[in-house]
Amino acid sequence: MTTTLITGANKGLGFETARRLIAAGHTVYVGSRDAERGRLAAERLGARHVRLDVTDDASVAAAVTAVEAGGGLDVLVNNAGIEARKDDGGVFGAAEVTADLMRTTFETNVFGLVRVTHAFLPLLRRSPSPVVVNVSSGLASLTGVTTEGSPAYAYPGVAYPASKSAVNMVTVQFAKAFPGMRINAVEPGFTATDLNGRTGTQTVEEGAEIIVRMAQVGPDGPTGGYVDASGPLPW
Ligand SMILES: NC(=O)c1ccc[n+]([C@@H]2O[C@H](COP(=O)([O-])OP(=O)(O)OC[C@H]3O[C@@H](n4cnc5c(N)ncnc54)[C@H](OP(=O)(O)O)[C@@H]3O)[C@@H](O)[C@H]2O)c1
């Protein structure tokens, strides 16, 4: 039996990933920073739930205790993420971004991911086949944002793509440090969720595809990669 924790799984890509992994036979913990939203989502899915705010040490420590008491962890999906938006739905470009906006974005997308991964390492190390999936973005790619004509090139925001580039770096360094684990960064693609005011062009079913696939890699599967549904992406 494979036990999987997905952060930010009360809605969006995390919720759909939970649905698919339960169908594939995983025991899934829906991580949610709001206990009630998590409980309701887990009830709809037939999942377990655990309160987990990735920005909060005490919340993460309590989640580790709960998951350990439940039997341990094999797969961690670091999915929780935020993207700051203006009232008109636009993102904050280079002339508008502030240190505070960068800090807030990194607090969830980068420091939160590291906090959760670090806290669950002891449980993952006890698994016979530990897997970590870091939900990155196509906007993390320095090649993408500097290649005229690519979808990422036109995106003017600073904090969100910088945070996801950091996620890619964290992924690579963790993968090198823990060769017994499969640790990969994935790009779901532009998906209609609350993150982007539902402007994404893909469904959550399409977006969750690569998250679900990389959550199921075996001990001989890839590690240290950055992939979307069609294969490896340029860094
Ligand atoms: N949608 C896209 O086009 C797209 C493309 C590439 C990558 N991604 C990435 O995919 C991931 C999922 O995003 P989504 O599109 O599904 O967005 P979403 O529907 O807004 O879901 C984001 C999830 O993260 C949770 N979250 C935010 N801050 C948190 C915190 N401090 N602690 C715990 N959970 C927290 C949210 O919880 P609440 O409900 O409590 O806010 C929600 O469950 C993110 O990492 C995002 O960057 C999305």
Beta strands in 70-153 (DSSP E): 75-78, 131-135
Give the pLDDT confidence score for residue 119 in this predicted structure. 98
Kindly state if the Cβ of 30 falls inside 6 Å of ligand 1: no
The predicted-structure confidence for 107-165, as pLDDT tens digits, reads as follows 999 999 999 999 999 999 999 999 999 999 999 999 999 999 998 999 999 999 999 99
Instruction: For residue 76, give its domain range.
Output: 3-232
- pLDDT the model gives residue 183: 99
Q: Is 164 a catalytic residue?
A: yes
Give the number of other Cβ atoms within 10 Å of residue 179's Cβ: 10
**The domain that contains 85 carries what CATH number?**
3.40.50.720
Give the pairing of strands 231-232 and 226-228. Answer: antiparallel
Residue 49: phi, psi to the nearest 5? -140, 150
Nearest atom (ligand 1) to Cα of 54: 32
d(CA 58, CA 39): 19
188 neighbors 210 (Cβ within 8 angstroms): yes
- Cα–Cα distance, 32 to 145 (Å, whole number): 31
Q: How many angstroms does the Cα of residue 227 sit away from the middle of ligand 1? A: 18
The pLDDT score that the predictor gives to residue 55 is: 98
Regions of the chain where pLDDT drops below 70: none
**According to the model, what pLDDT value does residue 193 have?**
98
Residues 6 or more apart whose CB falls under 8 angstroms from that of 94 comprise: 156, 158
Report the alpha-carbon distance of residue 200 to residue 194 in Å, rounded: 9
pTM: 0.99
Please pick, among 155, 160, 176, 226, the residue that the annotation labels catalytic.
160
Quote the pLDDT of residue 112: 99
Note the pLDDT of residue 160.
98
Our mutation pick for probing the ligand 1 site, out of 5, 6, 11, 17, counting the most ligand atoms within 8 A of Cβ, is: 11
State whether the beta carbon of 16 lies less than 6 angstroms from ligand 1: no
pLDDT at 227: 98
Q: Which helix (H) or strand (E) holds 185?
A: strand 182-186
Phi then psi for 13, rounded to 5 degrees? -65, -35
Q: Which of 184, 174, 178 is nearest to 228 (CA)?
A: 184
Average pLDDT over the chain, rounded to whole? 98
| Residue 117, ligand 1, Cβ within 6 A | no
Number of folded domains that form the chain: 1
| Main-chain dihedrals φ then ψ at residue 31, nearest 5 degrees | -85, 135
Size of the chain, expressed as the number of residues it contains? 235
